[in-house]
Amino acid sequence: MSATESTGPGRADDVESTANTAAPRPSGRLRRGEEFEAEIDTLAYGGRGIARRDGYVIFINGGLPGDRVRARVGKSKKSYAEANLVQLLTPSPDRIEDSDIHQGEPCPGASWQALPYETQLAFKEEQVNDSLSRIGRLEGFELDPIVPALEKWRYRNKVEYSFGEQEGQLVLGFHPRGRWDQVLDIEDCKLSSEATNKAKNDLLDWAKSEGLTAYDPRDHRGVLRNLVVREGRRTGQVQTRLVTSVADFPKPPVDLHTTIDGPSGNTSGPTGVLGEEILRERIFDLNLQLSHDSFFQTNTEMAEQLYGIASDFAGLTGGEKLFDLYCGVGTIGLSMAGQAGQVWGLEIVPDAIENAKRNARANNIGNAHFVAGNARTGTRPLIERAGKPDVVTIDPPRAGLSAKIVRRLIECEAKRIVYISCNPTTLAPNAAQLVEAGYKLVRVRPVDMFPQTPHIECVAQFDLT
């Protein structure tokens, strides 16, 4: 996966699909702004509660199964509505007390914390199965039990904080859901380690001592935008990167400083090195070096579980040629290199490819080769250069694979494809395309990389029939 982990809802077409399946002729349509009472039946992919009214489907932010709520409609469509919880009238008997609260609000990054953990796992496993069977119309595959997280809290190795102001005071934390004009002051986020929280609090103390102000996207005034903290869970290294507007102020006590000129809301821009440039991490027996903009799974311990399952599904015996598409810094391919004859990684981000090559050298892996290129335009040249692979691993972003990339994947004619997905609703149509082309979906295993959130990762094995 090459995208950041967010806590937003599922895609609009996933909503449409669910709504149309549940209610082909709704009669209880609600109007925008209308308030209503309802009981939550279940959860949609993306974590929102589902309620129904005379055949009309309503997706409610903040609702959990068994809750009776009062909600207000934000968006009204012919077959469904989207609403926000206004009042929890009767909590579900399964609700537990929120563990991560800030200023009286649940942590925006832990939207499922009121669900017992076993219930979270059950919903995630069910949603993987539902996506493949309902969206992909697939059957006959083996669904292995979901792999639970090793740590239910304090598992994130990367956290992105936002600066803001409250009553004239500088704060550093997270935006409440749907409120990009506000920031919750976060002193101790329980999804983050104590070391990450300390780094954040120390930087905030420095910023206050220097009298710096937060950037306001409404009038484009102020300096401080974001703080990105990454942690080498196995090395103990903590790397900090401050994101600011272009301005003169004292040298910040961080490793990296990114400046952004203009109203951009992301954290990408020219970056200067003030301290440690490379983040060092270990996974399996690999020593990894990561540049600040390179993707790495946000849960180090569960990344090992995820890639271990991918290796098991690949079934390498020592002589196979492996293509690792969307290879990032090479973690998947390098972790399988000892069981393969050759590994060829393809990734569109040049810096990530340089990381992958450096990691191969640092770990004395001589049978792994990495090439910068787009999966759509680079797969054919890779086949011409290396020959067709026996096995392909692919780890795309949340949007999954386009139809053209699926065709390039099919052209590889690999005997086996191992697809690592961070979104079962986009895995499903890709899986259906592969099955139509002659592959069999053999088995799927969900992995809980992100406890207290609705996000689901899974590994799927396809064999050429």
pLDDT tens, residue by residue, 172-190: 999 887 677 789 999 999 9
Task: Give pLDDT tens digits for 304-332.
Answer: 999 999 999 999 999 999 999 999 999 99
pLDDT for res 27:
58
End-to-end C-alpha distance for the chain, whole angstroms = 27
pLDDT exceeds cutoff 80 at 106 = yes
pLDDT greater than 90 at residue 212: yes
Q: For 182, how many CA atoms within 13 A lie in the half-sphere containing its CB? A: 9
- pLDDT classification of 2: cutoffs 50, 70, 90: very low
Reference 214, options 242, 178, 254; nearest CA is: 242
Contact between residue 351 and residue 330 where contact means Cβ atoms under 8 Å apart: no
The answer to whether 423 and 105 are in contact (CB under 8 A) is no
Report whether pLDDT(26) > 70.
no
- Structure-model confidence comparison of residues 293 and 451, the more confident one: 451
Cα separation, 241 vs 411, whole angstroms: 41
pLDDT of residue 11: 38
Query: Which pLDDT value is given to residue 30?
Result: 87
Question: Please, which residues have CB within 8 angstroms of residue 267's CB and are 6 or more apart in sequence?
Answer: 160, 225, 226, 228, 241, 243, 258, 260
What is the rounded average pLDDT of the residues 293-309? 95
More confident of the two residues 79 and 208: 208
How confident is the model at residue 9, as a pLDDT? Answer: 32
Q: Angle at the Cα of 348 (from 299 to 246), degrees rounded to 5?
A: 75
pLDDT band at 167 (very low <50, low <70, confident <90, very high): confident
Q: Look-up: residue for tokens 């082909």?
A: 24
Which residues, at least 6 apart from 252, have a Cβ–Cβ distance to it below 8 Å? 203, 206, 207, 242, 274
Model pTM score? 0.89
Q: Helices 403-411 & 375-386, crossing angle to 10 degrees?
A: 10
Question: What pLDDT band is residue 408 in, cutting at 50, 70 and 90?
Answer: very high
Q: For residues 136-156, b (16+ Cβ closer than 10 Å) or e, as one string? A: bebeebebbebbbbeebbebb
Contacts of 33 (CB under 8 A, 6+ apart): 72, 73
Q: Which residues contact 52 (CB under 8 A, 6 or more apart)?
A: 22, 23, 38, 41, 58
Helix (H, G, I), strand (E, B), or coil: what is residue 250? Answer: coil
The percent of residues above 90 in pLDDT, for the chain, comes to 79
Tens digits of residue pLDDT in 38-77? 999 999 888 899 999 888 999 999 899 999 999 999 999 9
8 Å CB contact between 346 and 323: yes
Residue 8 has what pLDDT?
32
Q: What is the mean pLDDT of residues 399-412?
A: 96
2 vs 223: which has the higher pLDDT: 223
Q: Write down the pLDDT at residue 336.
A: 98
**Which residues make Cβ contacts (< 8 Å) with residue 146, sequence separation at least 6?**
121, 124, 125, 128, 445, 446, 447, 448
Q: Give the pLDDT mean for 12-40.
A: 66
Domains in the chain (CATH in brackets) are 12-95 (2.40.50.140), 121-151+299-464 (3.40.50.150), 158-279 (2.40.50.1070)
Please name the residue that has the structure tokens 């203009």: 262
Mean pLDDT for 339-356 is 95
Total Cβ atoms within 10 A of residue 68: 16
Q: What is residue 454's three-state secondary structure? A: coil
Would the pLDDT of 12 be above 50? no
| Mean predicted confidence (pLDDT) in 408-424 | 97
**Mean of pLDDT over the chain:** 91
pLDDT for 10 equals 36
Structure-block tokens of residue 452: 């207290």
d(CA 303, CA 395): 12
Residue 51, both tokens: 């309620």
Residues sharing a CB contact under 8 Å with residue 53, sequence separation 6 or more, in sequence order: 28, 30, 36, 38
> Which of the residues are catalytic?
422
